[in-house]
Structure 1
Amino acid sequence: MGQSKETTPKISPTSPAPVAVPRSTGQPSYTVPIARSVEAVRAIRLMARVVMSEWGLQHLADEAALLLSELVTNAVRHARGTSLRVQLTRQTKHTVYLAVVDYAPHRLPAPRVPGPDEDSGRGLLLVEALAVRWGCDLMGAPARPWGKRTWAVLEAKTEAAAR
């Protein structure tokens, strides 16, 4: 088994992005609470690139940053509450699980085909195109969920690319 990582974030006013401090438990993973704000999207893109580089998955850095950016943007636009939780987990040597937890269990993501002149509505189409699979799970008791986890799985296209 590889090195295990779970994080306790440290955020300072001068940090451009959340700083993740790894702890040794479970699969290699980073979990970071963030503010539900437009500014958080940029910080999460940067964090995704840093984590992919740390895991030796630089070839997936742009895709991971774009996927998380879209998932966080959807949560910023459609969820409620003041915070979100972002998770990156290395499931296998070539597979990364990306997730965003928010407090809007009744606003489930649904891809749509926007009109040619619409400025938004393409995020989940990008997620569908880049991820090998994606989905959404309700959090909490089935009868009274408190939130949802929207996730995507990113996988290296070929074994040669994953080296």
Structure 2
Amino acid sequence: MIGAMADAAVSAAVGLPSYRSNYLARDTAPGKARRGVALALNTWGLEQLADTAELLVSELVTNAVVHTDSRTVGVVVIRTSETAVRIMVLDTDRAEMSLPACPSGDEESGRGLFLVATLADRWDIERVSTGKRIWCELDTKKVQP
């Protein structure tokens, strides 16, 4: 649950490797999420994905902090298979969802989801019972040892 453990990390003991944490919806949340995601990927031997994953989670968490009224933001990173890592950001916002409009060249913000769409191999926004989940995936098969 998103509100259950603000700013605490939990790792899965069985099943596919995963990382879960909840952050208070403050300006410090993106940095904490970046560090958590990097730690998970380094632990799994996927250091090569860390830079891209940190940028992706930073954009998604920043969107949740800035554009929703959520008190906490959840982050989950899971190895969905041997060849994919999924990053999910959950918030409690129940407002209507819409895909962002393309920002003009002189706008200073509004490019976060376009960046996610460019860097991630797959991504989507889903309505869930507690609010919404935005996720993106990175293929590990692109990683060169």
TM-score (normalizing by structure 2) = 0.87
Q: Max radius of gyration: which structure?
A: 1
1:61 aligns with 2:45: no
Tell me the distance in 2 between the aligned counterparts of 1:21 and 1:75: 21
Cα distance per residue 1:92-135 (max 9 Å; x no partner): 22310000110113242523321222110110111001111111
Larger helix proportion, structure 1 or 2?
2
- Offset at 1:37? 1.0
The aligned residue for residue 4 of structure 1 is none
1:45 aligns with 2:34: yes
Letter in 1 for 2:134: T
- Superposition map of 1:72-151 within 5 A: 72-108=61-97, 110-140=99-129, 146-151=130-135
SS in 1 for 2:28: helix
Aligned length: 142
Determine if contact 1:68/1:98 at 8 Å carries over to the other structure: yes
The aligned residue for residue 25 of structure 1 is 14
- Offset at 1:51? 1.1
CA RMSD of aligned residues (A): 2.1
1:152 aligns with 2:136: yes
Q: 1 or 2 for the larger relative contact order (CA 8 Å, sep ≥6)?
A: 2
Tell me the distance in 1 between the aligned counterparts of 2:105 and 2:84: 34
Determine if contact 2:78/2:86 at 8 Å carries over to the other structure: yes
SS in 1 for 2:110: coil
Letter in 1 for 2:113: L
Determine if contact 2:6/2:72 at 8 Å carries over to the other structure: no
